[in-house]
Amino acid sequence: MDLEHLNGASLLITGGTGSFGKRLVATLLERGRLSRLVVFSRDELKQSEMQSEFPPTRHPALRYFLGDVRDRDRLHRAFTGIQHVVHAAALKQVPAAEYNPFEAIKTNVLGAQNVIEEAIDRGVQSVVALSTDKAANPINLYGATKLCSDKLFVAGNAYVGAGPTRFSVVRYGNVVGSRGSVIPFFRKARAGGVLPITDPRMTRFWITLQQGVEFVLDALREGHGGEIFVPKIPSMRITDLAEAIAPGCRHEIVGIRPGEKLHEVLVPEDDARNAVDLGDRFAILPAFRSAASDAWRGRGRPLADGFRYASDTNDRWLTVEDLRAIVDAPEGA
């Protein structure tokens, strides 16, 4: 993807030391010519480790900024001179959010509000916030906080007034190899010859880390403000993933965990009424009149009544061989 639109620009990534943030930084350093690239996160150890991999001495545009999205004053300082923001900071472990709900709300909801207000006050041009399939018809607290965050970012466009800031959201499924994902868990478990499977019927949407980065960069370029972009990505069966990673291992059915769905949804029926098909993606448009609704309605095809984009009814599926090729691909592929 051409990144000329970012040449000479300044960009900040909240949660920049996470799996997604590190891959985005690597991509921008390789292909972009930013004047400033700021990694904003609260973990000094991860920042130290990341500086060893991406030292500012070799990448003069790179800055590391300790801070928490809960702290609006710190965001105010960090957003000085920033033109673009990718908001990737979140508490995303489902069991941890269930047990520590106040903490999840402080980061995922109030932190989103802080990012929105500071982006407007600082005159940031564009903000793209990362969402999740769990925000669609949520049944756990993590999904509920991300749904709330999505709505805050969409509504943020109505708060801008005459300012330049536009807010967009990207929503996609499970990321191959991200921290806490099932792949490293299966790889560790296969040594014992038994893989715990929650339910053999379970399906999930699947996207690689690099595909997620490319999708976010595209949203940063194409977003008018107010959209929730949803990529058309393949589904996979949990049993096929288990076979791809650990062929021959016995599967032990352990049951669906609290807060977990059998299948995931990216575009629920109620959202589909206000969404358009853009070919390689869907755009869920804001209910209120906006630049996004005006722009995409003219370019996209309205979805049929009752349409629902779910992992079990998807028309694209990954085979065992497909999954094996993805999970065995070298870093960065």
Q: Give the catalytic positions in this structure.
A: 134
Which has the closest alpha carbon to 65: 81, 53, 77, 57?
Answer: 77
In whole angstroms, give the CA distance from residue 108 to residue 115. 11
State whether residue 328 is helix, strand or coil: coil
* DSSP code per residue over 76-102: HHHTTT--EEEE------HHHHHHSHH
Strand spans (E) along the chain: 10-14, 36-41, 62-66, 84-87, 126-130, 166-170, 174-175, 194-197, 203-207, 228-231, 235-237, 250-253, 265-267, 275-277, 281-284, 301-302, 309-310
In whole angstroms, give the CA distance from residue 293 to residue 239. 40
Structure tokens at 204: 């999930």
Amino acid letter for position 284: I
Provide the H-helix boundaries in 126-248.
Answer: 141-159, 182-189, 209-222, 238-245
Asked if residue 195 lies in contact with residue 250, where contact means CB atoms within 8 angstroms, the answer is: yes
Sign of the CA dihedral running 47, 51, 57, 61? negative
Provide the H-helix boundaries in 70-206.
Answer: 72-78, 94-99, 101-105, 111-121, 141-159, 182-189
Asked if residue 132 lies in contact with residue 146, where contact means CB atoms within 8 angstroms, the answer is: yes
In whole angstroms, give the CA distance from residue 43 to residue 285. 35
What percent helix, strand, coil does the chain show, rounded to 5?
Answer: 40, 20, 40
Which residues are bridge partners to 39 per DSSP? 13, 64
